[in-house]
Structure formats: structure tokens, C-alpha cells
Amino acid sequence: MRRLGQDPDDTAQAIVVIAALAGGSNQRLLRRFRRSPRAEAILRERRDLYGLLGDLDGLLTLPAGSLGRAIGDWFAREQIGAQGLAQAATTARAQLGTTPPDGGDEQVFLARLLNLHDVFHVLTGYDRDLRGEAAVLAFTLAQTRSPGIAYIVLRILLRAGWRSEMGRLIRQGFRRGLHSAWLIDEDWEALLARPLDEVRDRLGIGKPPIYEQVRSPAAPALTAG
């Protein structure tokens, strides 16, 4: 947490905290995932969202206004990509001295869970800025009940204050995560080509919030329009 506080863009340190405090939460989530009819096909076909999200050119060829196109535009604007999240996960495993699951359902599930972070950013409308990151973590907490994510969110909330703008967005993000559909088992491969507004309505996400961003020093500056 000290390292993350010194460099809020160090995604690997966030993953380290989440993994170190995971306990049995991933196994609990996997059991719930397996009970979903959609999950059966995802696990059987060993689907990997990384292949789609890592193809920026492919995302940018999707229809304007679609979820996938919005993700591609966001990646391009923020100068990031799915590769960065994958590298952060590799760095975190090296720091923790762990190895990824050796095949099977757990590997498919955990990889999907990791790659949904960027999808959630675009889906919710919380950007890459410090407030947006905290809000999307709160949203994810409501979806996953991850102890590690809960710890990070609570630390941020205590530091910022319950009634601060950061606190308001964290509380808003958590409520939105509670009130939306359970998103972990959705067929995201099919949803990427669907209109973003339609996906938000169908899943109960609601409209993207309006808030003043607080950008970290390493994040690209916002441009007009």
C-alpha cells in the first residue's frame, strides 16, 4: 500500500494487495461462476478476453458507439492497453513468488476477471483518473466481495473522507455495482459489438456520471472535447 500510495499508476502493487488478501474469495467466486449457464460455455471453450481486448485495431473497427469501439477509443486516448494489465499481473506474481494456475477452469476464470477491469471502466464511465479508479474498484467490490479490493477502497475512503468528492464517487460506484446485474458471467465476446448505451441499459449500469477528474502525474492530460 505504501508503494501504491507513492505511485497510484503502479497497477502491479494494487494486484499484489488484492492477491495477498484474497483468502478463499476467488474459489468462492469461481463456484458461483460455475453455476451460471453462460459460464459453462466460457469454461468449455476456454475463452480469453485478452485476445479481443489486446487487439486495438480490431476494437477500432467495431461499429461507432459500440462497447468494443468505446474500449478501443479509451485505450487509444489513455495510451494504455490490455497488455499493460497483463504485464502488471506478471510483475505482481513475481513479487509474491507465485505462479499462475496451471490450466483448468481457475486459470480461465481469473484471466477473465482481470481483463474485466478495463471493461468496467468504460461500461461505468469512471475514467482512469484517481477518482475514477477508486470508483471502479468500489463497483468491482460490490460485484466480487473481494477482501483485497475492500481493503484498498476502505483505505482510500478513510483518507479522503466520507463526504469528500472521492467519498461520494466511491459510495456511488459501490451502489451501482450492487444494483446492476452480476457481470462476471456475461457473454462479453458478444456484447463488445453491441451499442454501449444498450448494454448499460440491459445490465442496469445506468448513465455515466459527471465528475471532475483528478489526474495522476503519469496519466495523459485531458484534451478539449
224 confidence band (pLDDT: 50, 70, 90): very low
φ, ψ of residue 210 in degrees (nearest 5): -105, 120
Are 208 and 70 in contact, with CB atoms under 8 Å apart? no
Read off the amino acid at residue 4.
L
**123-143 residue pLDDT tens:** 999 999 999 999 999 999 999
223 confidence band (pLDDT: 50, 70, 90): low
Q: For the full predicted model, state whether its pTM sits above 0.85.
A: yes
pLDDT value of position 225: 43
Average pLDDT over residues 42-66: 97
Are 64 and 76 in contact, with CB atoms under 8 Å apart? no
**156-176 residue pLDDT tens:** 999 999 999 999 999 999 999
